[in-house]
Every structure is written in C-alpha cells, then in structure tokens.
Amino acid sequence: MGLSNQSVPKGHQTPLKSEEAIRSAVKNLVEEVHVVDVHTHLFPPNHGKLMLWGIDELLTYHYLVAEYFITAPATITPEKFFALEKQAQADLVWDSLFIQRSPISEACRGVITTLTELGLGELVERRDLNEVRKWFAKQTPEGYVDKVFELAKIKYVLTTNIPFEKKETVHWYPKAKEFDTHRFQTGLRVDQLLTGNWESIKEALDEMGIEHTIEGVKKLLEKWITIMKPKYFMAAVPPTLEFPSDEEMSTYAPSTINSATLLRRVLLPLAEQHHLPIALKFDSVRPINPALREGGDGVVTTKVSTLQKLCLNYPKVKFLATFLARVNQHELCVLANKFGNLHIYGCWWYCNNPSIVEEITRIRVELLGTAFTSQHSDARVLDQLIYKWKHSKAVIGGVLQDMYVKLFHAGWSLTREEIQRDVERLFGGAYEEFMEK
C-alpha cells in the first residue's frame, strides 16, 4: 500500500511547533487525502441503468424520500409517489423539502453541497431546478465518473454486487464485461444466506443450473467469486441471528438449509478457503415501514457478542464490521481492541450525521488510535460521494485536530509527514493493511 511519509527521514520532515500549525496542517491533510470508500452501492457506467447519477436521483435518494413523507399531504401515498416518473418524484421532494422549508437536514444539505461543489452555486441561489437538470443532461456517464472521483478525491470505491438479483447478474455473465475494476472494486453481497432466503437462493441456483443443496450454494458462490473477483463477502446481519453454537449445529442434518447452516457450513468455510474477509453490518431491521421501500428500514440494538463469537471461533477469518445503533459503538470499539481479525469501518446510515460521526470518531481514536477506517459513504448515487466525503471530512478532521493538539501538549513533537501517514490510514490505509494481513 505504501503510506506517504515512510521514505522521508524524520530529520527532513516538517516540524509543527504550535497548536495553530498543527490545526492548520491536520485540516489541510484531511481535506486533501484521497480516500478508499470501503462500502458503496455504486455501479460503473457499463452496468447501464444501475449506475445512478444526476439531480433527479439525488433528490429521490431514499433518505430524502423518507423525509419527504413526514411532510407529504395525506393524498400522496407512497404507492402513488412511486408510480410517478422519477422526475415528478424529484419535483415533489424539491418543492416540499427545499422550497417550502429550508433544507437543513443532513441529507438535504448534502444535495446543496454537491451542487455547489459541482459549480452550480448560482443555479442553487436562484432555486432553478430546471437549469440544474439541463446542466446534468450535458454530462456523459464516463466523464461524470471522472469528474466526481476527482472532486470527491476518491482512490477507489467498493461496490455492492448481489448474485441473487437478476437485474444485476445480467451485467456479469455469460462473460464478465470489462470495466474499471481498479476504481470500482467488487463486494459480493450475501444477505440471502444470513436471512435464510431459500426462495431467492433457489432462483439463482436455477439460473446457473446448480442443484438445490448446501453444496450447490457453495458451488454457486464459488462461480461468482471467479466471475466478480470480490475483495470481500458482505451481509447485513438480521437482528434475530445469533451465533449458532456447536451444540445447535449438531442438531442439524447435513442437508438442513437455514441461516445457521448457510452461515457455518457455507459462508464461513468459503471465507476461510478463499481468504475472503466478511464485511458485516449490524443493527438494521428491515423493513419497519415497507411502503417506503429502501427508506423503510429501521435501527435496532442487537448483541455485539454475536460478532465476538464469530471472531473467537473463526480466528482465520477476517471480519469487517459496522453497527447502526449508537449505543453499540463503545462496545464495538472494545471488541476491536481485542481481536486482530476484526476491523471497524464507517459511521453507517443513521450514524452518518455530524453529531454522531463526531462522537463515534472520538471514541474510536481514544480506544483504537488509527487502527480503523473512519468512514464509508454508502453512496447509491455517484454524486453523493462529493457531499458525503466533504461533510465527513470536516467532522473527522475537527476531531483529529483536537487529538493532535492534546498529544502535542502531552510532550510529543509532531511533523506534517507523520500526521499525513496517520490520516492516510484512517481514510483507507488501515483497511488496506487489514486486507493484506
């Protein structure tokens, strides 16, 4: 991976001799660092309509649709709303959340930051949605990827690829199409295993002509590993799933198919055999209001001990983890402090708000130093990379300024190069080191 200061001898580094110099260096280094975005839902241009970008996608992001429905008149039901064309949906959201009231929520402010960074400040000033649309109509998907990656300062992103969704898999077989696999690296999403969603798994098995058995599921995933060349498996952990003990497993016949057997007889052995880490997401509950579709999921507090048991019982498997419940963040840090096969990433979804990012980052730095990944964007719409990283960097940078100033006052001399090395770790380097372990 290569962190940038490693070749500069200490004597040739730039000393930072005052609180002011430290704050200014940290601010600048965080703003300028190029990030590895370890979890997104983005697709490259050759995945056609799956690549979401532009103003109408930004305005109909599920965070904003959920917010819109808090304000919508009773006559506009979710059913009616989703039956509209995307542009008409976007018009409703724009009118309600940006015109009828000030867009002060995090998701709304994100749209404004994005447009401003794209140079559309004047159109925003005039509230001119149609002119904004005209500007986007002039962009091409390929050119826009370059523009956004440059503006958001992205090294590469990890994508979410679901082998059980036909609308996605058609873009991969019979032969994987070429695309920029350096900038868009693959994450193989396997929620269906942990939810024990046999109907969906069976369809994917039929698609590949594979038998309906536990061994068949293994074969299916191995085929997708070959096609997608993923960097990790990923799954959201259902709130009801606890680590199935050896005793529980002994009660299942070899042919039994459920979430426990799919986890312990398929996913974990495959992860070990193929040296593929498993990225897990805890504490979401799906859905609490199905009418809102993707925006209808909620947060629940689950047991951090499920992850502890995974780390303990599978020392050869590497786990990446993020939790949605605010109350679990401290316990999670303590866990990460005990297991070298666990790496914490990001402030997920309802935690990706400045007040919570700040709190979580402070706890993490205090307990883990730089051995975690400070943020992931979870972007679904390409343009969101711009605001999600700008907003997060402002908060994380502020926390780091305080941390380095405290260290300085404790008697530790600091150089710009040393801080740069640490910042690179927090924004992707620590993830890469963990993956290379």
List contacts with ligand FIX (CB under 6 A).
236, 281, 294, 349, 378, 380
CB nearer to ligand FIX: give 57 or 378.
Answer: 378
CB of 334 to ligand FIX, least distance (A): 24
Residue (of 231, 224, 187, 239) closest to 42 by Cα position: 187
End-to-end CA gap in the chain: 12
Q: Does 106 bind Zn ion (CB under 5 A)?
A: no
Q: Which two tokens stand for residue 56?
A: 């109408």
CB of 144 to ligand FIX, least distance (A): 20
What, of Zn ion, ligand FIX, none, does residue 172 touch, CB below 5 to 8 Å by kind? Answer: none
> For 327-331, which contacts have Cβ atoms below 8 Å and span 24 or more sequence positions?
327/301, 328/282, 328/283, 328/301, 328/302, 328/304, 329/359, 329/360, 329/363, 330/363, 331/304
CB nearer to ligand FIX: give 57 or 417.
Answer: 57
* Residue 338 three-state SS: coil
| Residues in CB range of 338: below 8 A, 6 or more apart | none
Alpha helices in 72-197 (DSSP H): 78-83, 86-93, 106-117, 121-125, 129-137, 141-152, 166-169, 191-195
CB of 370 to ligand FIX, least distance (A): 25
CB of 349 to ligand FIX, least distance (A): 4
Q: Chain-centre distance of CA 257, in angstroms?
A: 29
What, of Zn ion, ligand FIX, none, does residue 203 touch, CB below 5 to 8 Å by kind? Answer: none
CB nearer to ligand FIX: give 165 or 294.
Answer: 294
* Residue 373 three-state SS: strand
What, of ligand FIX, Zn ion, none, does residue 380 touch, CB below 5 to 8 Å by kind? Answer: ligand FIX
What, of Zn ion, ligand FIX, none, does residue 421 touch, CB below 5 to 8 Å by kind? Answer: none
The DSSP call for residue 225 is H
Distance CA 46, CA 371 (A): 35
What, of Zn ion, ligand FIX, none, does residue 393 touch, CB below 5 to 8 Å by kind? Answer: none
What, of ligand FIX, Zn ion, none, does residue 165 touch, CB below 5 to 8 Å by kind? Answer: none
What burial letters (b/e) apply to 261-279, b meaning 16+ CB within 10 Å?
bbbbbbbbebbeeeebbbb
Stretch that binds Zn ion, among 266-274, 312-320, 354-362, 371-379 (CB under 5 A): 371-379
What, of ligand FIX, Zn ion, none, does residue 349 touch, CB below 5 to 8 Å by kind? Answer: ligand FIX
For 266, phi and psi rounded to 5 degrees? -120, -65
What, of Zn ion, ligand FIX, none, does residue 264 touch, CB below 5 to 8 Å by kind? Answer: none
Residue number with the smallest Cβ distance to Zn ion: 378
The DSSP call for residue 284 is E
CB nearer to ligand FIX: give 23 or 390.
Answer: 390
Residue (of 325, 276, 330) closest to 300 by Cα position: 325
CB nearer to ligand FIX: give 281 or 421.
Answer: 281
Interface with Zn ion: number of residues (CB under 5 A)? 1
CB of 91 to ligand FIX, least distance (A): 23
CB nearer to Zn ion: give 297 or 418.
Answer: 297
Rg (Cα) of the chain, in Å, rounded? 23
Task: Give the per-residue contact string, 375-394, with Zn ion (x = CB under 5 A; - = no).
Answer: ---x----------------
CB of 286 to ligand FIX, least distance (A): 8
Stretch that binds Zn ion, among 56-64, 265-273, 374-382, 408-416 (CB under 5 A): 374-382
Q: Does 191 bind Zn ion (CB under 5 A)?
A: no
Residue (of 362, 418, 368, 373) closest to 395 by Cα position: 362
Q: Which two tokens stand for residue 101?
A: 């009231």
* Residue 186 three-state SS: strand
Task: Give the per-residue contact string, 76-95, with Zn ion (x = CB under 5 A; - = no).
Answer: --------------------
What, of Zn ion, ligand FIX, none, does residue 231 touch, CB below 5 to 8 Å by kind? Answer: none
CB nearer to ligand FIX: give 160 or 401.
Answer: 160
What, of ligand FIX, Zn ion, none, does residue 294 touch, CB below 5 to 8 Å by kind? Answer: ligand FIX
Query: Is the distance from CB of 64 to CB of 109 less than 8 angstroms?
Result: no
CB of 236 to ligand FIX, least distance (A): 4
CB of 392 to ligand FIX, least distance (A): 13
| Residues in CB range of 186: below 8 A, 6 or more apart | 158, 159, 161, 228, 229, 230, 231
Residues that bind Zn ion (CB under 5 A): 378
